[in-house]
Structure 1
Amino acid sequence: MTALNRDCLWEIFTNLEHDKKSLHGALLVNRLWCEVAVQFLWRKPFRFLYTCSKFCRCSEQKRRMKVKKFLATLTTILAHKHTASSVNIQDLIIWTTAPLTTFAYTDFIRHLDIHDLVWALHDGVEYLRSQRFLMDFQCSSKPFFSEITWSTSSITWAESLFQKMACDLCRLLVLYCSNLSHLSIDMVNTKWSEDKQRCTSLPSISFWITVNEIPNEILLIPTYTGSQNCLSQLVEFTWGATHWTSNFLDALSKITHHLRKLVIDMSNFGRDESRKDAKRLSTLIKVQNCLQEIKFIKCKFRILPSIMEGLRTQAKTLRIFYFQGIVKDWSIFSEVKHLTNLREIIFSHANFQCNEVNMIEQSYFPHLTKLSFNVCCFRDQTILPELIVQHSGKTLRTFTLTRYYYPEHNFIPQVITTVANYCQNLVHLEIYVDRREFQQLMLLFASCPLLEKVKLTGNPDVADELFLRIANQELSNLKELFIDAQWRFCAKSLEIFIVKSRAPLKSLVFRYSPDFSDAHLEVLFRYLKEHLHRLHIGTDKRFSKGFLEKAKETIVDFRYKLNGQVHEPVWL
């Protein structure tokens, strides 16, 4: 491994770019490994600053000490680079106690999150204040603090210092981070929190948002000298601020024209949003030359039409459209129907309150490969995914329709039959199924011979009938099966399904199958021992010691949880 060249190491570390622990270990192998690993560690240093292993035990003081050391390193690099007089580097002199660094780390920064930057400065100032460091500087009346408002309250003085340093640090970052490709104001940090990577010593995100806002000194980043060089090559921008900043959006629209991904997240917005500023977001969309992916997360329906006006200008390049939230008295398909080059359409937790049928009937997406509706509510008996599948299902490779709702309980949807009739090239299927739709699912398996990955969800039920019906189809490509429903089935039904379908299963997950027992395990060992690499089981039954040992020996990724433990979020 140590003999690998730089290009090989780069490919390997690309797969580890979110694994801070592994990257830190790589620093100690040799100089080449160190040179490559350090570039990944400094790609998004402010985010890594607050990235911890799951359920970390960091204290507030330990976190702030780590931040102080990081800021000392960062400002030392900037101090050695800076020779111009546009920024008074002495305002940051309290940090520059670190020795000259081996690498110019600022050259490696690719991702800057403004929310993380605010946290870092806040923690750094609080650490110095807790150590009475600021009081000592205040009493010494150092000349480079002449612009700071003095007060008998150390807290007020610290806040003034925070604002001053925020302004100066941002000015230096835009001057010397010319390789920046990702900019975000990610107030929610959804993915970060879901992955349990956020340091547990931080206050809850909602608390931070309601108590502190991002200082204007930081939101002026696109207006500072050097921003043209720093922000002109951005390829991804996430907008999730809790308040509108017109100057920020106007300045960014003038210098950033090469975004490939734009995320507009209003999860924590109040009720003070304005249509004028929504049009500024629309302008940001319009001025892009090659926008390929756009995400709308909980955007307010009052201003959503104004923001989405810019979508038509991106019809040639836009490939991925993601939407989460409620649509009220307005059809988002009035704009989406013009995006005929879309490859992926994804709706999550969406409530369609407007009649979308006429819009969708006019829509055709000839290149569509992925269609996903995750936990959605439809207004009437017309299930919207059916209409899209009827017009654009021929090219679909992935179809997802998890839990969904419609007005009448006696109505039996025909979505599964529609997918079977129009999506013969389907490879990946995730769908909600109840007993009334078992026959439809059998038709789908018969009509889609290319299926490789299937995830089934549903209400608690007995699934023997389903396994026996599917067994009549040859599933020669099915490699992954995930049952995310509380279904009961006997070992004999499972055996018939495996033997007759001839599915070369490599991955099996039974999220919670109450009756899964030693007899079921024996079937899997007998027929799938040469193929199965992943087996996750949640059950009420306790496996015998012999079967557990055999499973651990023969299956690379084996997990087993008894009822009462399976609902722990970390086990699957």
Structure 2
Amino acid sequence: MEKLNLDCFVIIFNELRDKKSLHSCLLVNKEWCHLIVPILWKNFFYYEEIEEDKTIFYNTILSLLSSSTKQILNDNDIKLPLTKFLKPPLFNYISFCKFPKYDIVNGIISMILKNNNNHDKRYLLEQEIYKSFIIQCKNIKELYWKTSQPLPLFPGASTCFSQLHKLNINLDYVNSNSLQEMAKYCKSLNELSVRNPKDSTGLISLIDAQKNLKEIFLYSIKFRERTYEKLSNTLSRKVNLLKLELSNIIIIPPSFLKSLINLTTIYIFFNEVDEQDDDIKKIKEFQRCLAISEFPNLQFLSIYWLLSFKELAKLIEKTNENLLHLDIYNTHRNVKNTGMLIISIANNCPKIKTLRTYIEPKDFIYVKSLLLNCKYLEVVKFDSLYAFINLNDNILGDELLNILAEFSPKFLTNITISAIWKYSIDGFIRLFESYKERNLRHFNLCKNYDYDITEDHKVIIKKYIDEGIIRNSTCTFY
């Protein structure tokens, strides 16, 4: 029973994120102290509120460096703070910590060396800090790797990194040889994130070594002129991947997508595209591969920047009615087949809950079947692709408002529509009156340059907010 009680306390203490409450519990008795100290140190990074806390933390870490490490630093004229303890520390605090991110190590270095930019001293101090963590931290689960230090070569690396589940690498710092070394004993990753990837032997070896990789994220700061043929071939072998995210990465050849039939989540972002022939050609090839790929288990799909919705519509036809969330952002202004996408969703996504896409007035006719067939919709956002439309003072948006008022499913309580189409006061009233029995959690308009709603529109929205029919809207703040 005593053991059970302690286990219960551990669960409770792990749920507490309030440092003051944990500190109070720390003083109850010795047993509680031994339970709480590891939790406080493991979660220290959640509590970095004031500089004094950081300084105490940094000094404690430095005080726990080995005598040999302190001697190496002293021999190289690196003076550590004169931290004195009346008694030896009760715990090996470093062993409780999560493996430190780059900014923590850099903070310790800056505290000691201040404005001294001597590269050799900074490198040596960084090396000794990482060595101390690697020796004393056992079986860490997460590593954010943003240093040129060869972490897998340090003593204790095989024990420290063998149980890694989540690895985030910045290849502007980490070289191929270090990745190859890491691949020797890091084989249990569930999640791998790579910033600024390269078609390197080390990265390929690391990915190939993984037995249970479920999620992979590849990010580039800008759209880079690189090919990733080896990386593409390697990913095609990871048929059990569930989640794929590509940001400013065009994998060549993109046909690797056809192999990843078990994906449940796809995020693709091309937010640094120059509208030049070469970039456009690559994105067209990528879209063609989307059209011929099949993801029968796909539930979440987000895409940023497309030239056409035709290929996307074909992809959705093969999702086996499992798609729950579809987000499309900042699409190319001359994108085609917006209506085809709405039809495909209406016919193939009966379980969908969230839809954010672009349509034009000619597509309003398809929204009715979308709302009738997709009865679990909770969130819709219909934006316009164009910054300016010659409306000739016509009110185009009322057709959309009327469809929403008459056919919205009962779960649809979050609506955002483009301000560019213009709406009558009566159109607003009809929509809001249709929600009297269930209420709108959110009602918003996408602002498009000079197009805006009138003060009369704001008054109507405010009226329905005051009546509790609309809970939240940013429209009244425009």
For 1:225, give the aligned amino acid: P
Q: Please say if 1:307 is aligned against 2:231.
A: yes
| CA positional deviation for 1:341 | 0.8
Matches within 5 A, 1:132-151: none
Which of 242, 246, 249 is the equivalent residue of 1:319?
A: 242
State the match for 2:110 in structure 1.
123
Instruction: Give the conservation status (yes or no) of the 8 Å contact 1:252–1:284.
Output: yes
Could you report, residue by residue, the CA deviation over 1:66-86 in whole angstroms, capped at 9, with x for unpaired residues?
65443211122x34xx58x68
| CA positional deviation for 1:421 | 1.3
For 2:401, give the aligned amino acid: F
Could you report, residue by residue, the CA deviation over 1:324-367 in whole angstroms, capped at 9, with x for unpaired residues?
11538x342x1111011111111122665342465334422121
Query: Could you tell me how far apart the structure 1 residues matched to 2:359 and 2:162 are?
Result: 48
| CA positional deviation for 1:493 | 2.4
For 2:321, give the aligned amino acid: K
| CA positional deviation for 1:43 | 3.7
Instruction: Give the conservation status (yes or no) of the 8 Å contact 2:419–2:453.
Output: no
Instruction: Give the conservation status (yes or no) of the 8 Å contact 2:13–2:39.
Output: no
| CA positional deviation for 1:319 | 0.5
Query: Could you tell me how far apart the structure 1 residues matched to 2:142 and 2:461 are?
Result: 48
Task: Check 1:161–1:412 CA distance in 2 against 1; reply closer, same or farther (3 A cut).
Answer: closer
State the match for 1:419 in structure 2.
345
State the match for 2:136 in structure 1.
176
State the match for 1:249 in structure 2.
179
Query: Could you tell me how far apart the structure 1 residues matched to 2:82 and 2:427 are?
Result: 69
Instruction: Give the conservation status (yes or no) of the 8 Å contact 1:468–1:496.
Output: yes
Instruction: Give the conservation status (yes or no) of the 8 Å contact 2:217–2:244.
Output: yes
Query: Could you tell me how far apart the structure 2 residues matched to 1:343 and 1:300 are?
Result: 27
For 1:293, give the aligned amino acid: E
| CA positional deviation for 1:420 | 1.0
Q: Please say if 1:30 is aligned against 2:25.
A: yes
Q: Please say if 1:105 is aligned against 2:93.
A: yes
| CA positional deviation for 1:5 | 4.9
State the match for 1:344 in structure 2.
265
Give unpaired runs (5+ residues) of structure 1.
14-22, 53-57, 130-154, 187-213, 540-560, 564-572
Instruction: Give the conservation status (yes or no) of the 8 Å contact 1:345–1:370.
Output: yes
For 1:398, give the aligned amino acid: H
Q: Please say if 1:291 is aligned against 2:213.
A: yes
| CA positional deviation for 1:505 | 3.9
| CA positional deviation for 1:97 | 0.3
Q: TM-score, normalised by structure 2?
A: 0.79
Could you report, residue by residue, the CA deviation over 1:274-297 in whole angstroms, capped at 9, with x for unpaired residues?
x4xx23211111100111100111
- Describe the SS at the equivalent of 2:259: coil
State the match for 1:479 in structure 2.
413
Instruction: Give the conservation status (yes or no) of the 8 Å contact 1:258–1:290.
Output: yes
Query: Could you tell me how far apart the structure 1 residues matched to 2:458 and 2:38 are?
Result: 49
State the match for 2:317 in structure 1.
390
State the match for 2:14 in structure 1.
10
Instruction: Give the conservation status (yes or no) of the 8 Å contact 1:453–1:481.
Output: yes
For 2:112, give the aligned amino acid: V
For 1:30, give the aligned amino acid: C
Which of 57, 60, 78 is the equivalent residue of 1:73?
A: 60
Instruction: Give the conservation status (yes or no) of the 8 Å contact 2:180–2:201.
Output: no
Query: Could you tell me how far apart the structure 1 residues matched to 2:427 and 2:35 are?
Result: 52
Task: Check 1:40–1:319 CA distance in 2 against 1; reply closer, same or farther (3 A cut).
Answer: farther
| CA positional deviation for 1:239 | 1.5
Which of 517, 532, 535 is the equivalent residue of 2:472?
A: 535
Instruction: Give the conservation status (yes or no) of the 8 Å contact 1:377–1:406.
Output: no
| CA positional deviation for 1:228 | 0.7
State the match for 2:289 in structure 1.
359
Query: Could you tell me how far apart the structure 2 residues matched to 1:288 and 1:365 are?
Result: 22
Q: Please say if 1:514 is aligned against 2:438.
A: no
State how many pairs are aligned: 436
Instruction: Give the conservation status (yes or no) of the 8 Å contact 2:69–2:128.
Output: no
Which of 190, 194, 197 is the equivalent residue of 1:264?
A: 194
Matches within 5 A, 1:525-564: 525-526=466-467, 528=469, 534-539=471-476, 561=477, 563=478
Query: Could you tell me how far apart the structure 1 residues matched to 2:132 and 2:174 are?
Result: 24
State the match for 1:19 in structure 2.
none
State the match for 1:467 in structure 2.
401
Instruction: Give the conservation status (yes or no) of the 8 Å contact 1:171–1:225.
Output: yes
Query: Could you tell me how far apart the structure 2 residues matched to 1:497 and 1:303 are?
Result: 50
Task: Check 1:70–1:119 CA distance in 2 against 1; reply closer, same or farther (3 A cut).
Answer: same
Could you report, residue by residue, the CA deviation over 1:512-549 in whole angstroms, capped at 9, with x for unpaired residues?
56334232222244362xxx6x514244xxxxxxxxxx
State the match for 2:328 in structure 1.
401
| CA positional deviation for 1:27 | 4.0
Instruction: Give the conservation status (yes or no) of the 8 Å contact 2:95–2:133.
Output: no
| CA positional deviation for 1:457 | 2.8
Query: Could you tell me how far apart the structure 1 residues matched to 2:226 and 2:170 are?
Result: 17
Matches within 5 A, 1:155-194: 155=116, 159-185=119-145
Q: Please say if 1:500 is aligned against 2:434.
A: yes
| CA positional deviation for 1:230 | 0.6
Give unpaired runs (5+ residues) of structure 2.
1-7, 274-281, 390-394
Task: Check 1:164–1:233 CA distance in 2 against 1; reply closer, same or farther (3 A cut).
Answer: same
For 1:112, give the aligned amino acid: P
Matches within 5 A, 1:323-334: 323-325=246-248, 327=250, 330-332=252-254, 334=255
- Describe the SS at the equivalent of 2:302: strand
Query: Could you tell me how far apart the structure 1 residues matched to 2:361 and 2:167 are?
Result: 44
State the match for 2:170 in structure 1.
240
- Describe the SS at the equivalent of 1:355: helix
Query: Could you tell me how far apart the structure 2 residues matched to 1:27 and 1:44 are?
Result: 11
Task: Check 1:126–1:88 CA distance in 2 against 1; reply closer, same or farther (3 A cut).
Answer: closer
For 2:232, give the aligned amino acid: M
Could you report, residue by residue, the CA deviation over 1:154-185 in whole angstroms, capped at 9, with x for unpaired residues?
x47x5443222222221111011114211113
Query: Could you tell me how far apart the structure 2 residues matched to 1:36 and 1:456 are?
Result: 52
Instruction: Give the conservation status (yes or no) of the 8 Å contact 2:309–2:340.
Output: no
Q: TM-score, normalised by structure 1?
A: 0.67
Task: Check 1:112–1:308 CA distance in 2 against 1; reply closer, same or farther (3 A cut).
Answer: farther
Task: Check 1:399–1:412 CA distance in 2 against 1; reply closer, same or farther (3 A cut).
Answer: closer
State the match for 1:146 in structure 2.
none
Query: Could you tell me how far apart the structure 1 residues matched to 2:144 and 2:203 are?
Result: 14
| CA positional deviation for 1:477 | 1.3
Query: Could you tell me how far apart the structure 2 residues matched to 1:504 and 1:34 are?
Result: 50
Instruction: Give the conservation status (yes or no) of the 8 Å contact 2:458–2:475.
Output: no
Task: Check 1:527–1:489 CA distance in 2 against 1; reply closer, same or farther (3 A cut).
Answer: farther
Instruction: Give the conservation status (yes or no) of the 8 Å contact 2:439–2:468.
Output: no
For 2:441, give the aligned amino acid: S
